């Protein structure tokens, strides 16, 4: 197989041995692999893969067709269209994955699009529905709404019937966010003028969170899942947090135990695959690149101003 390999901060596409499925595992011929901020961090040596995953091949989400399965996995899975999450190794022509961490890709969904679905939507669903308990009628504030997880959060908020407020720095993204389901689209300066919100999904970090903490409704929940460009440290008014009887929590997906991921994938499949199949959920792609053009893909991904996800595509895989 060919794989993107990190070597002292440089990216190379090299030949690697084909993986073999062990008990409970599947090998997938990759069609597309979404890029994420974690990939940039791993390239810089700041976010190593969890134990048991490739240490030098990045990529945490993918789509493709199942090539082979190991003991204990139904052979009927072979040949099916799937997407999934892994602790690493997805930016390759083959990926080894626990079979329980796969989702079936609906026939109506393009496999390239599906390659950029899982990480964003599973992360957003876990944070909003399972951790914050978001329900219809609540007010949801999403920072960094122009990115992949932000796009997913806006749509999941709309899906459950919340009033969605999307924060973006880019005026030209406002119409696209409204099209995804945002009821209001504002910039950072407008956060301090909002009526109180029930749930905050924090993707930017200190620059946004310091403002959002002042707009909490009683019993609000703040879930921090990113600090992209906004700083990792913020001063918290504990008296305000106490007065609101609010909950401040955080989450990551990559390093969770396999059993926890299995449960999460099953919940997300039940909740999200139907809406995805019927076009109620979409994965906006800012751009797509061939696997061999990985340097250009990472350079593009690192630029500000994108809307949606970036995908690496394996030519010829469909």
What is the distance between the alpha carbons of residues 236 and 213, in angstroms, rounded to a whole number?
8
pLDDT of residue 103: 98
HSE of 195, CA atoms in CB hemisphere, 13 A: 7
pLDDT of residue 130: 96
pLDDT of residue 69: 98
pLDDT of residue 306: 92
Q: In Å, how far are 187, 311, 312 from 297, measured between CA atoms? A: 27, 8, 7
pLDDT by residue (tens digit) across 222-250? 999 887 666 677 777 787 788 789 888 88
What is the distance between the alpha carbons of residues 173 and 304, in angstroms, rounded to a whole number?
12
Q: In Å, how far are 48, 124, 177, 280 from 301, measured between CA atoms? A: 19, 20, 19, 26
pLDDT of residue 244: 83
What structural domains and CATH numbers belong to the chain? 2-117+254-313 (3.90.180.10), 120-250 (3.40.50.720)
For 144: left if phi > 0, alpha if psi spans -120 to 50, otherwise beta; the answer is left
Q: Which two tokens stand for residue 30?
A: 């990759």
Q: What is the mean pLDDT of each run of 10 residues along the chain (318 residues)?
A: 96 97 98 95 91 95 98 97 97 98 97 96 97 97 94 98 96 96 95 95 82 90 81 75 86 88 96 97 97 97 93 87
Q: In Å, how far are 7, 69, 304 from 168, measured between CA atoms? A: 34, 43, 12
222: three-class secondary structure by DSSP: strand
pLDDT of residue 230: 60
pLDDT by residue (tens digit) across 181-200? 999 999 988 999 999 999 99
Q: Which two tokens stand for residue 144?
A: 């960094």
pLDDT of residue 229: 64
Among 40, 17, 35, which residue's Cα sits nearest to residue 27?
17
Is residue 159 within 8 A of residue 280, CB to CB? The reply is yes
Q: Which two tokens stand for residue 301?
A: 């991904």
Among 117, 127, 134, which residue's Cα sits nearest to residue 285?
117
């Amino acid at each position: 197989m060919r794989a993107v390999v990190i070597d002292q901060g440089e990216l190379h596409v090299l030949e690697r041995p084909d993986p073999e499925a062990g008990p409970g595992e599947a090998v997938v011929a990759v069609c597309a692999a979404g890029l994420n901020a974690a990939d940039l961090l791993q390239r810089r040596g700041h976010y190593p893969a969890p134990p048991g995953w490739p240490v030098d091949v990045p990529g945490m989400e993918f789509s493709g067709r199942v090539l082979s399965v190991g003991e204990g996995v139904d052979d009927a899975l072979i040949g099916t269209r799937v997407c999934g999450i892994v602790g690493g190794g997805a930016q390759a022509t083959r990926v080894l994955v626990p079979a329980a961490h796969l989702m079936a890709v609906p026939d109506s969904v393009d496999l390239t699009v599906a390659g950029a679905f899982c990480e964003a939507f599973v992360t957003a669903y876990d944070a909003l529905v399972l951790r914050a308990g978001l329900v219809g009628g609540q007010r949801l504030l999403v920072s960094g709404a122009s990115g992949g997880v932000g796009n997913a959060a806006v749509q999941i908020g709309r899906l459950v019937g919340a009033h969605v407020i999307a924060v973006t720095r880019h005026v030209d993204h406002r119409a696209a966010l409204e099209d995804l389901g945002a009821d209001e689209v504002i910039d950072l300066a407008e956060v301090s003028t909002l009526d109180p919100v029930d749930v905050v999904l924090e993707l930017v970090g200190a620059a946004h969170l310091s403002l959002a903490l002042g707009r909490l409704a009683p019993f609000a929940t703040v879930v921090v899942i990113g600090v992209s460009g906004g700083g990792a440290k913020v001063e918290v008014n504990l008296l305000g947090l106490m007065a609101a009887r609010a909950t401040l929590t955080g989450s990551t997906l990559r390093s969770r135990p396999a059993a926890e991921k299995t449960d999460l994938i099953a919940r997300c499949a039940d909740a999200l695959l139907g809406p995805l199949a019927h076009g109620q959920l979409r994965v906006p792609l800012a751009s797509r690149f061939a696997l061999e053009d990985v340097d250009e893909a990472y350079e593009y991904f690192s630029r500000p101003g994108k809307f949606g996800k970036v995908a690496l595509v394996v030519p010829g895989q469909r």
